[in-house]
Structure formats: structure tokens, C-alpha cells
Amino acid sequence: MVRDDQTYPSENEAGFAAWLAKPDMQGGLVIALLQPAKTQVYTLDFQWVKDECPTLAYLEESLAFVNGPGGLATTSVFDAFPFITEPISSERLSKEATDAYNTFLAMLEAKKPEVVFACWRVKGQDLFFSGKGLGRATQAESLELSNGHVVRVVNGFHPSYTANFCVNESCFRRLFTMELCKAFCELNTAWQEDKWMDILRRKCQERTRQLMEERGRDGEQLNREGGRVLRGSREDDSARKHKAYTKSFDNGLQRLKQTFDHMISPAYKSQSSWDLYAFFVFSQNTSEGICDALLAVSEAMKRFKPGTSMPDSSLVELSNHIGRQTLKFLKDDIPDLLQYPKGLYKNLWSSQFTTSTSQGLKWSMEKTTIRFIENLTNSFSESSKSWTYTPDLLHDAFKEIAISFEESLGKEYDNHRQTRAASVLNSVDTLSASLYTLSLSSSRDAGSARLAGNTTLARSSSSAICYNCDQPGHYSRNCTRPKKGSITPSRSSSNTTCYNCNEHGHYSRDCTSPKKRGECFRCGGVGHYANACSVR
């Protein structure tokens, strides 16, 4: 392929694209990104190239979390505009962009994947297909390629959104992981949409608008659908990034303070487990706050990573800020945390619940907060000049409360859902907290969170409520009643249009009319497809 500047992709560039496209077999899942970074450096060490790209590094972590070992080695990644490093215009595609897009379509035709996870889009372009944007589609759509192969398209958004531009926002990490789970489940037609998923999508859309307004006031711009960004090319943004982490950590501590204050209030004593769940998830958004704080602590841990001799000054300030604010939180915000001689602190928080007869979520919250305070106090020690903290212990304290908190909320959600199913109640109007643990994958140690994340995904149909007919005992995909209110075309051939004869009721592969001659996306001619076109 010749670019507009008359250059060709280098051998290493082409080799890396081929490496990302592996494994060399048809079927399976293809993750479609937008384009490579302009500053990407290519060598023969493809693992190094991948590790130096934050987007691909984050994508591999997400794949390992969702699909187990293997990561990018077992999942194909295509660029919708391979080898094109200049920004894709929203007005008119250049010749090189058109050629690149045709190459992408030809790759899909050759690969014949079962599912495409569309993590890209270009506004204003009438393309054969693209992603729809962050949280803008709930159902997988069927797409028939020009060779008659039908693929299911799951809408996603570019992972650079979480890896580069909104690194401190756990809600985007949860949404990306959820949509990636959906893409893998679609391989076996096993995905079941619940209303909490749309709530999460709308929440992320609203958060995107808020960030655009905030950064617009600060003279910044939020890249909503960028290409891959090379690690090291955004050094000027480190101060902004760590400032955002600082804000996230402070918000997380505020959520924790509200939790402790609520647990000694009269309202807490009279709340049922489900009322307490609603308080944490809907009223206070406690789960997201704790996960955001954990993301900030995980980032600060990079200061103490072996081999880091001269950490960025903004990273040093972030870690110092976390230490100061956590100590202040312990001294000023925890009820009944008393100071004794020689600077020691006695944790009397547990005395609040020594005679507690709480059950369910309340019992779990009491145990979780007691352990959290114990872990925090153990992470600090007093020297002759000041208080210091042990980074690993502080990180472990926040990680444990995040995981324990989500496990407890997840159990309460599952228990409530089973109760509703047994009572033949209608729709699920709640936001599952179980998938909040998926945001912990950013800490590069998500193994302990996997069980909590999977408890919600692996559901027995015996306790399920059909989203289509609101009856228990089966999922909507197995429902025999007419589908309600869906704007997504059914996979049934009765609702499809034949690509060959333009008639309804069958696919082109089953068409009995004379086969239509191919139409080339490259030159506009007929009689051949882009992958066989002589125009280069």
C-alpha cells in the first residue's frame, strides 16, 4: 500500500500489524481499533512495541482479565485504517484512508470472524460499518460482508479512552470491560442484557459530557476516539494526569468518610440490607469512589517500582499527597480513633459493633471497615520527625476494601435478584455492583477480583428473569414470545435483506438469483473486490 506521501509501510510496521492480526485462523473474535500512532516506533521485538504502547498494554490486561492467559496472542486486533498515521478526516476520506479502509474490509472477509468488537468510529463518514461511540448501542448487530459472511458486531469504544485520556475514571474501565465480556459471550450467543448495563452506559456518557465541559474551561480537549498513543509521547500530560488522580483520591476519601459517618447514624440501624445497598450504590456512589481512590494509589505505587531512580515530580507529589490525606483521614475523620501516648493510635471503631447482631450486607460492611482501619493504621509509623507510610501496606489496604466491598455488594445484589425471581417480580431496576471489581485490572493484579466479577456473569437460568417477557426461568435469548421494543434487527433471516438481490427474507449465501458481480471499494468498479483490485 502506498501512502499519500508516496511512502510504504516499513517491514517492521507490516510485521507488527501481522503479529497483531494473529492467530492465523478463521473465525473467533476480532477487536477493531482506529489506526496506529504517528509516533509509534517499530522494531523486530513486537512484544516491546506492544508494551511501549499504553493502549495495547491496557488492552492485553483487559483480555487477560476477561479471557484468561493469552491476551493479544490469542485474539486478533485489526486497525480500521491500517498504516495510516495522519488523523482521519470527518469530512472526506483521503485516498490513502480509503485504501486502508478497503484493506481492513478485505482482512475481515479473509478472517471471517464470528464477532467484531468495534472500538473505533469516524464522525461524518458514510462507511460500510463502524463503531457507534461510547455506550451508544446495547445489542449486537448482524453485518453481512461482501463475500456473504455474516458477522456480529458488538459496539465498544477505543481503549485509549481509559489508557491515556481518562486513566483515573474507574467507570470507563468498568464499561470497557463489560463490553469486552459481551463480545466474548457473543461467540457463544450467551450474553444477557440487564437494565443496570444501560445505567452504566448512560452514566459514562454523562461523565464524558462533564469532562468535556471541565476540560473545555481549562483549555483542554478530550480525545473521544483517538488512535493508539505511544508511551513516552505524552510526557507533557503527566502533571495533568496526576492532578486528576489527586482529585479522584480526594473524592474517594470523601466517599469513605460518608460511609463511616452513616454507619454510626440512627438511619443505619433501621436500614434493611437492600436499603443499605441502594444507599451505597445509588445515593453515595461509594463503590466508584473507592475504586477511583485505588486507581490513584496504584498509580502512586509506580514511584516505588524497582529501577525507578528519578520519578516524575508530579508522581512524587501524588504519592506524598496520598500519604498526607490518608493520615489526616485516620486522625480527623474516623469516629473513636483515639491517640495514646508515644503517638500510638487505638482503633476503637470495632467497638461500635462488638454487640452487633447484623446480618447480610450490614455484617459484611462492619467486618470490611474494621479490617480497613486496622490495615491503614498498620501502614503508618512515626519517626523522629514525622509520620511515614509503607507504600505496599497502604496499597493493600485500599485494594482489600475495594474487593471486599464489591464482593459484599455483589452478594446482596444476587440475593435480591433471586428473591425477586422467586416472587415472580418484574424488571431488574438495580445497578449490579459485582462488575465494579473489573476496574481493578488497572492494578495489574486482578486475579483476586476475578471471582467477584464472574459471579455476576455466570448466572443460572433457573434464577433468571427474562428481559423480554418478565417471566422467570429463562433468558430473553431463549424466549418464545415476540420480541419487545428492540431496535436491533433479529438474526432471523425473515428480517434480513439479501446483499445479492436486495430482496427480503434470506441471506445472500442462500440466494437463488444469479450472483451479483462484485463491487470494489477501491476503484468503484464491478467484477472484483478490493483485495483483488489492480489499482494500488
DSSP string covering 226-282: -----TTTTGGGHHHHHHHHHHHHHHHHHHHHHHHHHHTSHHHHH--HHHHHHIIII
Q: Answer yes or no: is 440 within a domain.
A: no
Domain-embedded: residue 472? no
Residue 269 has pLDDT above 50, yes or no: yes
Interval 122-142 mean pLDDT: 86
Question: In this structure, is residue 348 part of a structural domain?
Answer: no
- Total H helices, total E strands in the chain: 15, 9
State the pLDDT at residue 252.
93
| Residue 492 pLDDT > 50 | no
Contact 28, 187 (CB under 8 A): yes
Counting the structural domains of the chain, the total is 2
pLDDT in tens, 83-96: 988 888 777 888 88
Taking the C-alpha atoms of residue 135 and residue 193, their distance in angstroms, rounded to an integer, is: 13
Contact by Cβ (8 Å): 298, 443: yes
Print the domain residue range for 329.
Answer: 315-337+392-416
Mean pLDDT of the chain: 76
**Same domain? 170 vs 319:** no
- Give the 3-state secondary structure percentages of the chain, helix then strand then coil, rounded to 5: 50, 10, 40
pTM for this structure?
0.70
Q: Is residue 300 part of a domain?
A: no
**Is 333 part of any domain?**
yes
Q: What is the pLDDT of residue 373?
A: 85
Q: Is residue 484 a contact partner of residue 139, using CB atoms and an 8 Å limit? A: no
Among the residues of 301-440, which ranges form H helices? 313-328, 360-379, 391-422
| Residue where a domain terminates, one of 157, 176, 193 | 193
Domain boundary (193, 223, 243) is at 193
Domain end call among 363, 383, 416: 416
Query: Does 460 score more than 60 pLDDT?
Result: no
Task: Evaluate whether residue 42 is within a structural domain.
Answer: yes
What pLDDT shows up at residue 437? 41
Of 219-223, 381-385, 426-430, which one has max mean pLDDT? 381-385
